[in-house]
């Protein structure tokens, strides 16, 4: 790890200015992603801008029509908050599945949403496409854990479980930059990597994520988060699902089905959602929706197992929401 300067930012504006004046600077909060990257040589910043010293950048408050979560709020605080537990159990489950208690005590919700790829080629000694190379090593390499949707030119999968839940819950985000704050939906925040933006989100140099806003659940909404891992707990998703259904009587009025661990961003299963709207949650509807959840998937040589895994997760989630 190379030597670096460590600067405490007292305000979000100060943090933005410190980051904007040094292209090699990196923001640090919990550090559970950045510090391992620095040890591996994936990131070599000459300045770390500490966000934890910013006043009023963490905490949870109830506002008119929504709940606001400061981006620097530790994952454990979010999961343990009575308001989040009562109104957004889907998010609580995603956080509990995301990491060990020790990591949840350090990692922030904003940092979790902004974390880098966990692909072994990105984290290893490879000049992969996401790090500025000319091709994705995983496309024809060891791609057991890689994307089956939205892949190319990068086939990584987004590592955040809370991101999957927050997309299903219609979260909105506040991002601060030199020109002030901009508000955007979480769907706008996550963008597929492309040649002019080799990143998993839309943050521009110098910008920091400031807050997460969650609208209150509508009457009749039911939500669930499920995750499949290659070990018993605290591993990145082979596949996951966050599903929010709004029922009027026995019929589904709206559906949001978001898949994790299968694309470079949290992935909306649009065909699956369309198949659910207007239907009742019976065996036929559930089977049809599960089959449509993998429409458009393009598995690589070693990750075709994700197709039946996704379908099984969708069936299981809908079965539980129906009960």
pLDDT tens readout for residues 54-86: 988 899 999 999 999 999 999 999 999 999 999
Give a yes or no: residue 91 inside a domain. yes
pLDDT of residue 35: 93
In the structure encoding, which two tokens stand for residue 235, read together?
């591993």
Distance CA 132, CA 119 (A): 15
Residues of the chain where predicted confidence (pLDDT) is lower than 70: none
Check: CB of residue 243 under 8 Å from CB of residue 255. yes
Distance of CA 89 to the CA centre of its chain: 16
Check: CB of residue 220 under 8 Å from CB of residue 246. yes
Give a yes or no: residue 53 inside a domain. no
Distance CA 53, CA 78 (A): 19
Q: Are residues 237 and 258 in the same domain?
A: yes
Q: For the chain, what's the residue count?
A: 323
Tell me the residue range of the domain where 111 lies.
60-115+160-215
Burial of 179 (0-12, 13-18, 19+ CB in 10 A): exposed
Among the candidates 152, 183, 215, a domain finishes at: 215
- Tokens 């979790």 sit on residue: 112
Give a yes or no: residue 297 inside a domain. yes
Q: State the DSSP code for 295.
A: T
Q: What is the pLDDT of residues 247-281, one digit of tens each?
A: 999 999 999 999 999 999 999 999 999 999 999 99
Distance CA 156, CA 119 (A): 6
Q: What is the CATH number of the domain that holds 312?
A: 3.30.390.50
Check: CB of residue 203 under 8 Å from CB of residue 215. no
Q: Are residues 280 and 181 in the same domain?
A: no
- Tokens 């079965």 sit on residue: 319
The count of domains in the chain is: 2
pLDDT of residue 102: 95
pLDDT of residue 101: 94
Give a yes or no: residue 139 inside a domain. no
pLDDT of residue 19: 94
Q: Are residues 68 and 206 in the same domain?
A: yes
Is the pTM here over 0.85, yes or no? Answer: yes
Q: Are residues 82 and 98 in the same domain?
A: yes
pLDDT of residue 294: 98
Evaluated on CA atoms 157, 128, 111, 167, the torsion sign reads: negative
Burial of 288 (0-12, 13-18, 19+ CB in 10 A): middle
In the structure encoding, which two tokens stand for residue 224, read together?
């669930």
In the beta sheet, which residues pair with residue 140? none
pLDDT of residue 125: 94
């Amino acid at each position: 790890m190379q030597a670096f300067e460590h600067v405490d930012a007292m305000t979000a504006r100060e943090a933005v200015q410190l980051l904007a004046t040094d292209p090699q600077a990196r923001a640090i909060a919990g550090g559970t992603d950045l510090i391992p990257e620095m040890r591996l040589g994936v990131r070599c910043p000459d300045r770390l801008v500490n966000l934890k010293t910013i006043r009023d950048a963490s905490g949870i408050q109830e506002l008119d029509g929504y709940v606001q979560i400061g981006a620097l709020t530790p994952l454990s605080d979010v999961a343990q908050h009575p308001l989040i537990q009562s109104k957004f159990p889907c998010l609580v489950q995603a956080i509990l599945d995301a990491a060990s208690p020790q990591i949840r005590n350090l990692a922030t919700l904003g940092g979790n949403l902004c974390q880098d790829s966990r692909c072994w080629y990105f984290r290893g000694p490879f000049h992969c496409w996401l790090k500025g190379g000319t091709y994705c090593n995983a496309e024809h390499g060891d791609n057991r854990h890689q994307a089956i949707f939205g892949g190319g030119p990068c086939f990584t999968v987004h590592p955040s479980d809370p991101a999957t839940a927050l997309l299903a819950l219609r979260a909105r985000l506040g991002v601060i930059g030199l020109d002030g704050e901009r508000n955007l939906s979480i769907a706008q925040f996550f963008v597929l990597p492309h040649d002019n933006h080799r990143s998993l989100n839309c943050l521009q140099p110098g910008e920091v994520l400031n807050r997460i806003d969650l609208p209150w659940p509508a009457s009749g909404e039911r939500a669930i988060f499920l995750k499949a891992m290659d070990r018993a707990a605290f591993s990145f998703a082979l596949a996951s699902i966050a599903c929010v259904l709004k029922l009027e009587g026995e019929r589904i009025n709206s559906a949001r089905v978001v898949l994790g661990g299968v694309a470079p961003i949290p992935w909306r299963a649009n065909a699956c959602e369309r198949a659910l709207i207007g239907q009742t949650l019976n065996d036929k509807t559930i089977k049809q929706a599960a089959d449509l959840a993998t429409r458009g998937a393009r598995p690589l040589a070693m990750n075709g197992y994700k197709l039946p895994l996704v379908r099984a997760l969708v069936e299981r989630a809908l079965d539980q929401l129906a009960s």
